[in-house]
Each structure stands twice: as structure tokens, then as C-alpha cells.
Amino acid sequence: MAMAMAVAPASRSSDDRQAVAGAGEGGGGDPAAQRRERMFEKVVTPSDVGKLNRLVVPKHFAEKYLPLPPPPAAAAARAAAAGPAGTVLCFHDARGRAAWRFRYSYWSSSQSYVMTKGWSRYVRDKRLAAGDTVSFCRDGARLFIDCRRRRRPAAPAPAAAAPPAMAAFLPPASCRVVVDAEEAQRGRRLRLFGVDLELRAGAGAGEPLLLDLQL
């Protein structure tokens, strides 16, 4: 994955629009928002908003702002094996009255801190896309979450590059759809002339799949 991390402490740079309380659309001039301490923000990766249903929290931010009781401490957890590891964090929506509960835990296999359960709902409800930014703040013990769109909305969807409905009957050029192998293995869906094409590869695929559409 060639995506740059692009994680930064929420600095007060000039282009840092509504990084904390959303002075633009939702927050109005909420004075309470002024008291919120910025913790960190992250430009989300494709994986963060994809089917892995988890947000990787950069380790240094995680350990600074969201410490977890026994993170690398592989203590005797057999006795208290009740329930999944980690904890549940409740974030208030910086722009509304909603609250977002995320399971937050440490994955020793990848040595990373992640938000899992609940995260996919946030991605869906906020329509988060790769390149967008999520920011985390706090006011005392109260936690807040906010997000904002990336600067350039980017090409929406290469595959959906606007094939006009009538293109099928007036064949245009040929086009090629390259499906990343990893994506393909998880189930990739294309839409062709109003028909959903779901493509799945076997387990061992190593190279990208090609779907040549000769129109």
C-alpha cells in the first residue's frame, strides 16, 4: 500500500479549517469548543475506510493520549478471559449530539492500536473516504471526534467514470479495469450498464486481476 501516512498533531496552522469544533457548519461559535484540547488527527488511509473495519491509531498518539491498561503487557489474561480485550471509548460528535462508541484495543500481532467495533458505522455515516481527516479532541475526560473532507475531492471512482446509459448501444472505445488483487480477494463490485458484477478471486492470487471490457 503506497499511501502516505499523513498523520500530524492537530496544529493550529492556517489551513487547519474547523479542525476541532467545526466552526464552519455545525458548531456555530460554541464557546465550549474552545476549551477542547486537541489530541491528534489522522488522514485516513484506504484501509481505514475499507472493509477491514478498523482505524489504526498511530502508536505515539495512542500511547500519549489513549493509553490502554496493559497494552504490550502480556500478563496472565487467562483468568479474566471474559470479554474481548481492550476497552470501549465513547466520543462525542464535535458537530452534533451524537455519540460514537468504538472498541479500542492493541493488536499485538501488528503491534498497533486500533479502533474496531463501531468504527465502520462512523465511516458509513460520515461517508468518510480515503484522504479525509479525522481529529480527536478532549475536554477533561470527555472525548470528541470530528472529520473533514480532503481538500481536492479526487476522482470519485475510476470505474464509474460516467459511462452514459446509451454507451452500450453506441460502443465507445475499449476500457480496462484493473482490480487490485487484494481488493479482488475481498470481493470487488463493478457496475456495468446497471448490472452489478461481483468479482472474487481465489485465495492465492498474487497479481492484479484484469477485466478487459471491449465495448
Partner DNA sequence: TTTCCCACCTGCTAA
Partner DNA sequence: TTTAGCAGGTGGGAA
Residues with Cβ within 8 Å of residue 188, at least 6 apart in sequence: 179, 198, 199, 200, 209
CB nearer to a second copy: give 103 or 138: 103
Min dist CB 135 to DNA, Å, is: 15
CA distance 33 to 62: 22
Told to check if 27 binds a second copy by CB under 8 A, we report no
Give dist(CA 72, CA 160) in Å, integer. 44
| Residue 59's binding partner out of a second copy, DNA, none, with CB under 5 to 8 Å set by partner kind | DNA
Q: Is the Cβ of residue 20 or residue 55 nearer to DNA in the bound state?
A: 55
In the complex with a second copy, the residue whose CB is nearer, 61 or 104, is 104
CA 187, CA 171: separation in Å to the nearest integer? Answer: 28
Per CB under 8 A, 155 contacts a second copy = no
Among 25, 67, 73, 78, binds a second copy (CB under 8 A): 78
Residue with smaller CB distance to a second copy, 78 or 152? 78
| 48 vs 53: CA distance, rounded Å | 7
Told to check if 209 binds a second copy by CB under 8 A, we report: yes
If one asks whether residue 52 binds a second copy (CB under 8 A), the answer comes out as no
Cα–Cα distance between 15 and 19 in angstroms, integer? 9
Type of residue numbered 197: L
Closest residue by Cα to residue 43 from 165, 162, 103, 129: 129
Q: Could you tell me which stretch among 37-45, 94-102, 129-137, 190-198 binds a second copy (CB under 8 A)?
A: 190-198
Residue ranges that bind a second copy, judged by CB under 8 A:
78, 81-82, 168, 181, 192-215
